[in-house]
Amino acid sequence: MMTEKIRVMIPEKELDSRIEEMGKRISEDFAGEAVHLVCILKGSAFFVCELAKRITVPVTLDFMQVSSYGAETRSSGVVRLSKDLDEPLNDKNVIIVEDIIDSGRTLSHLVKLLGQRKPRTMSICTLLDKPSRRVVDVEVKYTGFQIPDEFVVGYGLDFDQKYRNLPYIGVLEFDKQEEES
């Protein structure tokens, strides 16, 4: 029987202090202005809340959900919008908030799509980055942690919709256990 085990990669305290720093940097970079955080559901929901609480300039929030098309069209970076934003982006300092950047396909498509909506500025903020997996180049302004190519869960990230609620980032490991007779 296979059992799933989680090995802690980034403990809650480290996430806290890094997100605190990120919020501070964003607040400095946009001093005297406001920021509009675009949260990419569902994975970024936990991160965006922690980040927003630590930003000291005025913050507005919006949410969108995307999903990749089937395997064939995936390489073209085409993603389907399953929930669009509620508000227009024109004249806003948009910060796209992601949980993790892997191939970069999702984000590069989003940048094109949202860029057409005439934001004043647009930047990308991600909690995690797996640079070794990148296929499409995307410019990321704020990165929490660069991590090796391992499948991680927690802090919003899921495996089969599970583990999003873990307060830390963990590596999912599969343990082979002897069948009990």
Please give the positions annotated as active site: 102
Closest distance of CB 21 from Mg ion, Å: 22
Q: Which parts of 16-45 interact with Mg ion (CB under 5 A)?
A: 43
52 versus 171: smaller Cβ distance to ligand IMP: 171
Please state, in angstroms and rounded to a whole number, the distance separating the CA atoms of residues 8 and 130: 17
Q: Where does residue 104 fall: left (phi above 0), alpha (psi -120 to 50 degrees), or beta otherwise?
A: left
The DSSP symbol for 132 reads G
CA angle 69, 148, 13 (to 5 degrees): 105
Residue 19, binding choice from Mg ion, ligand IMP, none, Cβ under 5 to 8 Å by partner class: none
- Please identify, among the stretches 3-11, 112-120, 148-156, 173-181, the one whose residues bind ligand IMP according to the rule CB under 6 A: 148-156
- Please report whether residue 110 would count as binding ligand IMP according to CB under 6 A: no
- CA neighbor of 105 nearest in space, from 86, 122, 84, 80: 80
Which strand ranges, in their side-by-side order, compose the sheet holding 152-153? Answer: 2-10, 169-176, 152-153
Q: Are 74 and 105 in contact (CB under 8 A)?
A: yes
Stretch that binds ligand IMP, among 13-21, 23-31, 47-55, 103-111 (CB under 6 A): 103-111
- Whether residue 10 contacts residue 169, with contact meaning beta carbons closer than 8 Å, is answered with yes
Residue 65 found at the interface with ligand IMP (CB under 6 A) = no
Confirm or reject binding of residue 123 to ligand IMP (CB under 6 A). Answer: no
Burial tier of 18 (Cβ tally within 10 Å: 0-12, 13-18, 19+)? middle
Q: Which is nearer to ligand IMP, 117 or 134 (CB)?
A: 134
Judged by CB, which is closer to ligand IMP: 94, or 98?
A: 98
- Among Mg ion, ligand IMP, none, the one that 69 touches (CB under a kind-dependent 5 to 8 A) is none
In the complex with ligand IMP, the residue whose CB is nearer, 23 or 77, is 77
| Contacts to ligand IMP by CB under 6 A | 43, 98-106, 151-153, 157
Which spans of this chain sit near Mg ion (rule: CB under 5 A)?
43
